[in-house]
Structure 1
């Protein structure tokens, strides 16, 4: 079966090869839980230098019980390919390959960190062209996890840029710490974090920061699907107040703050995170047309 340039390989994996770079599989999408599409469909997008394994814990600890069909994507900004593809230029258009690769429509798209920002930028570009990307790709809702967001260009100071650069190694090390679950010493975590930083390189970091710099230009008022924004209480990289501001600016935005976790909350609080996403999927009716209106609901800030 082929889906507009994206092949669906028997055995539950879909790979999107792109003529833009000549790379074999800059995007690969895999069905993780067969589920029941009538109960919902989920596509999960990872952040910078991560991979689809980022979602393993929350899939194992409850997301599967939602009954939904669950897909995960390997994206150009994953650890093994980020340096080469980022050096070639804009990675945002690859988002279309991931969305298009899910048969029947992407459904609820769950995106973390840079993945969330790339998704927002991609959707925004379509909206600026007068195209409804929610209807085009069958997107019924967004879960934006640890996103980066500022309302105005003036909020980006030299200090904020320096902070992002200086703390890049720290966030890579934090990812190693959380994934290793205490199996590595602090020295080993730091060494591996530095290796990941160097593998990402300056181009990879710039691709991330470019999407961050564009957030003041997001036409948030045109995002017409329910959006759940989730942040970790102790996230030093993507401060929770930025996620709260984003939720406030989205017409159907809802904000949740998870205690006792940081940037990688889908691992640190896997059961709670899976519960939030599962309830969001259930509340986003499968019969609701993508991009269609829904009566607003009050925001809730869980601590």
Structure 2
């Protein structure tokens, strides 16, 4: 049986998928990985994820979770039945981004985590959501639970990541790419780049949406994922039928 794995973003947890879990659990096995919280590099995170889950996988990753999903595909393409990348990127960090992350790490190390988190809110959310006190409080509480050590370790992992763009031409499984039109952290051009390199990719850009898609537009994300998983299931069933027919000849 195919298992759906949800891959949270940097310093994120199950909160990021709270509105998707009921819908996905009604469909079948689903797990929120914590590999990013327990390992120091993306290759190690992918190894841990693959070891924790048997059989074919459907990977649904947002932000850093999408980057990790591509690393899982790099290591075990035969295990990946389908993949959805939400507000993510296949590119490596630029020197400018590395400098920004390095500066943030310095602030985390000196106890100034909240200063960085609050400054990041306008980049994490669409302007209309950045003024929602409950949503912002949930986001800040989630990252505070991760704490400075995870923030430092995961930022270093992201800075050291490989360029995943060369992988895209060999990605033959179903791929859904979703991005907020106002995403300032992983702009729509990153998602367009991924979709353009994968012939069977579905690209959806969400208006009035920033980086944290699953929290900002949960019902829209649920609808997109539900429809996409229906198509994935139909393809899997069709392939199984073809194999069964071939075995009877």
TM-score between the two structures when normalised by the length of structure 1: 0.61
Does the alignment pair 1:259 with 2:196? Answer: no
Tell me which residue corresponds to 1:56: 18
1:161 equivalent in structure 2: 98
Query: Which structure's residues are more often helix, by fraction?
Result: 2
Partner of 1:236: 184
Whole-angstrom distance in 1 between the partners of 2:51 and 2:153: 26
Q: Deviations over 1:227-267 (max 9, x none)?
A: 11111122111111101111111232221111222111111
Structure 1 residues 226, 244: CA separation in 2 closer, same or farther (over 3 Å shift)?
same
Check 1:70–1:190 CA distance in 2 against 1; reply closer, same or farther (3 A cut): closer
- 1:225 equivalent to 2:173? Answer yes
* Change beyond 3 A, Cα 1:179–1:50: farther
What is the number of equivalent residue pairs in this alignment?
225
Q: What is the match of residue 68 of structure 2?
A: 118
Stretches of structure 2 lacking an aligned partner (at least 5 in a row): 106-115, 243-249
Structure 1 residue runs of 5 or longer lacking an equivalent are 1-36, 127-132, 293-303
Kindly report the root-mean-square deviation, in angstroms, between the aligned alpha carbons of the 2 structures: 3.8
Distance of aligned partners of 1:42 and 1:192 in 2 relative to their CA distance in 1, 3 Å threshold:
closer
Q: Which has the higher contact order (CA 8 A, sep 6+)?
A: 2
Separation of aligned partners in 2, 1:123 and 1:289: 20
Show the counterpart of 1:44: 6
Q: Could you tell me how far 1:69 is from its partner in structure 2?
A: 1.0
- Per the alignment, residue 83 of structure 2 pairs with 142
| Distance in 1 between residues matched to 2:200 and 2:54, nearest whole Å | 26
Q: Which residue in the other structure is 1:98 paired with?
A: 49
Q: Could you tell me how far apart the structure 1 residues matched to 2:136 and 2:203 are?
A: 35
Relative to the length of structure 2, the TM-score reads: 0.72
Structure 2 residue matching 1:200: 3-state secondary structure = helix
Q: Does structure 2 conserve the Cα–Cα contact (< 8 Å) formed by 1:45 and 1:74?
A: yes
- In 1, the alpha carbon distance for the partners of 2:139 and 2:237 equals 46
Question: Quick one: structure 1 residues 70 and 53, their matched pair in 2 at CA, closer, same or farther if it must change by over 3 Å?
Answer: farther
